[in-house]
Amino acid sequence: MQTDHQSSKGATRLLAGTGKLLTRSTDLCSALKGLASLATSEFADFCILELTETELPQHIIVAHRDPEKLNFVQKWREDWLNIWGDGKGPLQVTKSCKSEIYSHVSLMALKKDLGRLKSSSQGFNVKSVMIVPLLATGHVYGTITFGALSKRKFHKCDLSVAEEMGRQGGMAIANSRLYKIAKVAEANAAEGKELFRTLSETLPQLVWTAFPDGRLDYFNSRWEEYCGYKPKDNPRFWKSIIHPDHLEPMYKKWHHSLITGTLYEYILPIKDRNGNYVWHLSRGFPTKDTQGNVMKWFGACTNIDSQKREEGRIQKLQDLTSALSRAVTQNEIGDALLRRIVNLPGTKVAALGLCKLNGDKVELATAFYEPHKKKVQILLPKEVSLTDPDPLCLCIKGKKKIVLESKSATLSKFPRLRDIGSLCVLPLIFQSRTLGALAIHFDTEGKVSDETQAFLNAVIHLTSQALERARLFESELHLRHRAEENEQRLKFLALASTILSENLDHEKTLKNIVAHAVPYFCDGCFVDLVNDDGQIDRIAASYYDSKQEQILFDFVNAHENLYKSPTSQVLATGESLLMDLEEATNLEFVAQGRPDILEMVKSLNPKSIIMVRLGPKEKPIGVMSFFTSVSCRVFNSEDVSLAEELGRRATMAIENARLYAQAREAVKMRDEFLSIASHELKTPLTSICLQLQLVKRNKELQGSENLLKAFDVFDSQSTRLSKLIDSLLDISLIQSGRLSLDLELLDLSEMVLQVVNRLPMVNRPQLDLQQGVKGYWDRSRLDQVVMNLVSNAIKYGNNKPTKISVGSTGSTAFISVQDFGMGIAKHDQSRIFDRFQRAVSDRRTWGMGLGLYIAKQIIDSHKGVIRLKSQIGKGSIFTVELPKDTMSIVRSNPMDDVSLSLH
């Protein structure tokens, strides 16, 4: 089915085509047939021309889009001749000279002939009919009936196209008559002169005759009616009535016709008695003798003003159609429309109101023509409430056009509108939805002509379609933007979460977040934290233009009245803030009445801001703020949700950082305590041990068996206590990174042998010692490691023999200590190298779970490894692997925290 837009374009094409056809054709019959077939090509499904007075053989010309159906049309016409009753149909149109339109034929069917109508309508379902007069200079030459079948119906805008076709057809008939009269006069030269004059007086056209050389000899009386005086009374007649722009080209044409003896034809504006220029088609026919010499010129000027104006309107509509098709947004459409409307002659102001999406606001754009600058001035759209007493709002609300034809009527309805003649306001409606309205203020008062109204109807029709298209486009664009924004938000949240989890220094982390928020989420961002004194510190700020970033810090320093500021409000209430900073009151709130701050804030050109709290609602610890400026983004509730989520995650990160710092502090204090305590314990214990040795060697006590036993117990317990204190001392050294190595060239087997020799005979392990395994290692620390591994092998070895091997492969030396005792479960095997970790709960095997931890730290600082192979019930093998050249390895890594002291 054809769209309205297509049909309007078709009408434009049709009228242009009809004009061309009729002005070029001299044979009236074929011209009218051509008109009928043109009408049925796109505009109507069928067409009937009925001529009231004609010399043509046919009175009726019928056309149908499908030539096979011509007889249906004939039959329908005959049926309807009876059905059109009094006051309706082609006869009435001829009489009254007024067009008729029936959009729904079935509704207006006369009741008495309903049965007949049904029979005629069988297979020929006529939906809509228009009848227009064939009209020229006030004379009706017949009618044209246009019919539409079931697929489409005629609207008012179609009627104006049909009427224009009627006018063009009428004009063609009038011209043909004139031509005929001239021909008759030519044939009967003698009495023809008189006959011609008589006939020419009956014609509606302005008629003249001229001698072969062009001198005028006769004007019919219509001239006097038209100009207000007899042409002969004015020696400079042509010059005074023809528009000055057309004088020269007209004379050129006339001169050419005089020389060649060919038909003269020119379209020009001729001034009427009121001083208005009216478009005329001026034609001159030469009559010739048998030798072909021109004897006389017969000429006539036919009023084609409405046709010409229609052509102008069509051109303007075409121009508007193409401008609207280029416009993409509603603003562009408004601009294209207003520029063209305000340029129409007699228009003072044009205004366009477009309904906003929420429905209670109208966006108003106004255009003026500035004659002195010769350009159109369009005022920026402003928003008004639909209840505003503005003609546009009233028209939108009422969905009806408003036409006020006098100054007083306009003033009494709209007192604000002064110096306005007539006013015409038309609603822009698309599929019963009101999109807005168009208002035209005319210079002068008086009736807005039917032609202008028809033209404006076509304009608003085109505009409504273009607006609807733009709305769809804009809403699609809006949805796409929202999807992109959401994606951007999620990306930013993911990035922020990564940043928050990466670092345990909360200030560093917040600075990082603030830096990444721009431009991902906003154009500027800052974080304020409440310090221990209850003051606010701005700990991080970022702005898209880094040169202006400092303003964000200056602003908080200058901001003394913090207790009233937006930041303190968020701190006090715990509620987020979303503010439009283009609103003066909000800017005032931010600036707290301080002009210097206001200047600072304004220099950042902020548009929208979100402020969210950090910390729990009951006790916020700070505020995180995000604002937009250069991007012109306006934050919405979804942005607030994102900002709040970010605030929650940042709060968690700050809390974690605080807990971590506290825990570190506690561990540090404990290690310090351990270090001091073990030092303090070691000194008295050493002196107690010495005293015990002295007492034990006292001869007087040698005989006292019991006392000696008691001393043995003292001895073993103080040795354990001493070992424990040694371990604690080592731990505190390791924790504080003060464990240092005294590297020396060492023979590993020799060193192991020395350890073994300190053991009681009964516990001594089986040895497999390779000779010459040497390297740079710390003697006493490796001694400590071996002693620990051997002691464990004895302790957990179920009294079974143990074994120590020493050897080397390439640049690596190894010591392995094996037992065949209880073994270690798989799940315990890595854990036992950590502090205070034990795999036994047996109270009989004494231990603190520190030995393997210290051993591993010592091996690590030698850049070696300690491995364990064990099976429950079958025993364990601990293997220590050491690089032979520990010294160069440790040195090659200057960052290493092991301090070296070389012998």
* 524 contacts ligand ADP (rule: CB under 6 A): no
Which is closer to ligand ADP, CB of 484 or CB of 842?
Answer: 842
* 820 contacts ligand ADP (rule: CB under 6 A): no
Given candidates 51, 454, 752, 832, which one binds ligand ADP under the rule CB under 6 A?
832
745, two tokens: 């060239």
Smallest distance from ligand ADP to CB 857, Å: 11
Smallest distance from ligand ADP to CB 664, Å: 25
342-359: string of b/e by CB count within 10 Å (b at 16+)? bebeebbbbbbbbbeeee
* Residue type (1 letter), 167: R
Which is closer to ligand ADP, CB of 71 or CB of 717?
Answer: 717
Which is closer to ligand ADP, CB of 94 or CB of 837?
Answer: 837
CB 278 within 8 A of CB 289: no
Which is closer to ligand ADP, CB of 168 or CB of 792?
Answer: 792
Strand partners, 817: 804, 878
* Residue type (1 letter), 491: K
Given candidates 14, 362, 850, 859, which one binds ligand ADP under the rule CB under 6 A?
850
Which is closer to ligand ADP, CB of 192 or CB of 851?
Answer: 851
Smallest distance from ligand ADP to CB 821, Å: 5
- The site that binds ligand ADP (CB under 6 A) totals a number of residues, namely 20
Strand partners, 271: 277
* 847 contacts ligand ADP (rule: CB under 6 A): yes
* 822 contacts ligand ADP (rule: CB under 6 A): yes
Smallest distance from ligand ADP to CB 825, Å: 9
Element at 637 (helix H, strand E): helix 637-697
538, two tokens: 């701005």
Which is closer to ligand ADP, CB of 549 or CB of 860?
Answer: 860
Burial of 680 (0-12, 13-18, 19+ CB in 10 A): exposed
Which is closer to ligand ADP, CB of 541 or CB of 832?
Answer: 832
For strand 361-370 and strand 375-385, is the pairing parallel, antiparallel, or unpaired? antiparallel
Which is closer to ligand ADP, CB of 730 or CB of 778?
Answer: 730
SS3 annotation, 121-148: HCCCCEEEEEEEEEEECCEEEEEEEEEE
Let me know the angle formed at the C-alpha of 19 by 16 and 23, rounded to the nearest 5 degrees.
145
If one counts every other C-beta atom within 10 angstroms of the C-beta of residue 167, the result is: 20
Q: Is the torsion defined by CA of 215, 219, 223, 229 positive or negative?
A: positive
Candidate segments 98-106, 161-169, 759-767, 841-849, binder of ligand ADP by CB under 6 A: 841-849
Ranges within 861-900 binding ligand ADP (CB under 6 A): 876
Smallest distance from ligand ADP to CB 815, Å: 14
Burial of 629 (0-12, 13-18, 19+ CB in 10 A): buried
Candidate segments 313-321, 532-540, 820-828, 894-902, binder of ligand ADP by CB under 6 A: 820-828
Smallest distance from ligand ADP to CB 785, Å: 11
* 219 contacts ligand ADP (rule: CB under 6 A): no
Given candidates 824, 880, 882, 890, which one binds ligand ADP under the rule CB under 6 A?
824
Smallest distance from ligand ADP to CB 729, Å: 16
SS3 annotation, 669-685: HHHHHHHHHHHHHHHHH
Given candidates 328, 562, 685, 848, which one binds ligand ADP under the rule CB under 6 A?
848
Candidate segments 18-26, 108-116, 248-256, 842-850, binder of ligand ADP by CB under 6 A: 842-850
Which is closer to ligand ADP, CB of 367 or CB of 824?
Answer: 824
Q: What is the number of H-type helices and E-type strands within the chain? A: 27, 30
**Three-class SS state of 823:** coil
Q: CA torsion, points 871, 872, 875, 881, in degrees to nearest 10? A: 40
Which is closer to ligand ADP, CB of 646 or CB of 806?
Answer: 806
Smallest distance from ligand ADP to CB 714, Å: 22
Ranges within 112-141 binding ligand ADP (CB under 6 A): none
Q: Which candidate, 431, 434, 439, 438, places its Cα nearest to that of 414?
A: 439
Given candidates 395, 819, 861, 882, which one binds ligand ADP under the rule CB under 6 A?
819
CA distance 95 to 87: 9
CB 405 within 8 A of CB 445: yes
* 723 contacts ligand ADP (rule: CB under 6 A): no
CB 297 within 8 A of CB 253: no
Ranges within 374-393 binding ligand ADP (CB under 6 A): none
* 852 contacts ligand ADP (rule: CB under 6 A): yes
Residue 97 DSSP label: -
Smallest distance from ligand ADP to CB 848, Å: 5
CA distance 888 to 467: 81
Which is closer to ligand ADP, CB of 562 or CB of 674?
Answer: 674
Which is closer to ligand ADP, CB of 442 or CB of 796?
Answer: 796
Residue 283 phi/psi, 5° resolution? -130, 145
What is the chain's Cα-based Rg? 54
* 838 contacts ligand ADP (rule: CB under 6 A): yes
CA distance 261 to 348: 48
Smallest distance from ligand ADP to CB 866, Å: 11
406, two tokens: 């006098």
Candidate segments 185-193, 333-341, 395-403, 844-852, binder of ligand ADP by CB under 6 A: 844-852
Q: Which candidate, 225, 210, 229, 363, places its Cα nearest to that of 283?
A: 210
* 17 contacts ligand ADP (rule: CB under 6 A): no
Ranges within 789-818 binding ligand ADP (CB under 6 A): 792-793, 796
Which is closer to ligand ADP, CB of 615 or CB of 823?
Answer: 823
Which is closer to ligand ADP, CB of 551 or CB of 839?
Answer: 839
293, two tokens: 């010499």
Helices (H), 278-381: 305-326, 330-342
Q: Which residue is nearest to ligand ADP (CB)?
A: 847
Smallest distance from ligand ADP to CB 877, Å: 9
**Residues sharing a CB contact under 8 Å with residue 114, sequence separation 6 or more, in sequence order:** none
Candidate segments 88-96, 212-220, 576-584, 839-847, binder of ligand ADP by CB under 6 A: 839-847
Element at 538 (helix H, strand E): strand 536-543
Residue 773 phi/psi, 5° resolution? -85, 100
Find the largest Cα–Cα distance for the chain.
187
Smallest distance from ligand ADP to CB 898, Å: 21
Which is closer to ligand ADP, CB of 286 or CB of 875?
Answer: 875
Interacting residue ranges for ligand ADP, rule: CB under 6 A: 788, 792-793, 796, 819, 821-822, 824, 832, 838-840, 847-853, 876
